């Protein structure tokens, strides 16, 4: 498309230079006729370029609108799922209690999340409750399958997928550990208990920081796409500043 437009432009440019010369220096009938024909050709070429430009920018505009709609739908889906990181202590008391829980909100900043987790906690292996595993798989499948979603964002979402996993029976003496919970309108799991029967680990293990990077990496890919396409980031309610 760009090559066609470029050659068409130069052809019209050269013809426009020649027409005045032919009209002024060649007074014979055939010269006048040729000049008239060339003038008509220039008009047709100009119309041709106008059609090409209309088609090019018309299609691009529609595609961009569909991409934006797919991104907006993806953001809504991500906002509806609430992830929680539950850090269990190595307490020797009868019932193992969780030290603290940290919610992961898509609008929040990654640095604000990691600031509340110890270096040991960030580097530890992440275990998944069934709800967390289900949420990751559903998000990855639902969002990445959108036809008009930009590939860079689809690839970022796929980093959350959990397809192969193994149930884990973690002895209390191996604690501390971190487990991922999730809840949404599709399923509810607000019980952040220490039930060892519901611990799983994906075949592709992630550390706590690895999951946090993957989760907020989706937002980073969206922001990057907006920047690459010259769109206004101030209209995004994603706390990207």
pLDDT tens profile 145-165:
999 999 999 999 999 988 888
| pLDDT in the model for residue 238 | 78
Per-residue pLDDT tens digits for 193-229? 445 568 888 888 899 999 999 999 999 999 999 999 8
Residue matched to tokens 């193994």:
166
| pLDDT in the model for residue 237 | 73
Q: How many CB atoms lie within 10 A of CB 99?
A: 15
What are the structural domain ranges in the chain?
2-64, 81-235
The stretches in the chain having pLDDT less than 50 are 27, 94, 190-194
Q: Kindly report whether the global pTM for this prediction surpasses the value 0.75.
A: no
Query: What is the distance between the terminal CA atoms of the chain, rounded to a whole angstrom?
Result: 37
3-state secondary structure the chain: CHHHHHHHHHHHHHHHHHHHHHHHHCCCHHHHHHHHHHHHHHHHHHHHHHHHHHHHHHHHHHHHHHHHHHHHHHHHHHHHCEEEEEEECCCCCCCCCEEEEEEECCCCCHHHHHCCCCHHHHHCEEEECHHHHHHHHHHHHHHHCCCCCCHHHHHHHHCCCCCCEEEECCCHHHCCEEEEEEECCCCCCCCCCCCHHHEEEECCCCEHHHHHHHHHHHHHHHHHHHHHCCCCHHHCCCCCC
| pLDDT in the model for residue 206 | 92
| pLDDT in the model for residue 75 | 93
């Amino acid at each position: 498309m760009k090559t066609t437009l470029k050659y068409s432009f130069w052809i019209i440019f050269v013809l426009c230079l020649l027409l005045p010369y032919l009209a002024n220096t060649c007074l014979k009938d055939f010269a006048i006729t040729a000049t008239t024909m060339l003038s008509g050709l220039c008009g047709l070429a100009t119309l041709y370029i106008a059609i090409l430009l209309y088609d090019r920018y018309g299609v691009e505009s529609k595609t961009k609108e569909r991409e934006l709609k797919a991104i907006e739908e993806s953001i809504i889906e991500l906002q509806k799922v609430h992830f929680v990181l539950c850090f269990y202590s190595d307490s020797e008391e009868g019932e193992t209690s969780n030290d603290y829980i940290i919610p992961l909100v898509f609008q929040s900043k990654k640095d604000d999340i990691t600031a509340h987790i110890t270096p040991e906690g960030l580097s530890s292996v992440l275990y998944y409750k069934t709800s967390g595993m289900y949420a990751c798989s559903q998000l990855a499948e639902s969002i990445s399958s959108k036809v008009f979603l930009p590939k860079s964002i689809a690839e970022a979402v796929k980093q959350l997928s959990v397809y192969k996993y193994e149930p884990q029976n973690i002895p209390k003496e191996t604690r501390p550990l971190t487990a991922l919970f999730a809840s949404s309108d599709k399923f509810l799991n607000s019980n952040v208990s220490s039930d060892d029967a519901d611990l799983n680990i994906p075949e592709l293990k992630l550390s706590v920081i690895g999951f946090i990077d993957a989760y907020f990496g989706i937002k980073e890919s969206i922001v990057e796409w907006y920047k690459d396409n010259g769109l206004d980031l101030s209209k995004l309610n994603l706390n990207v500043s």
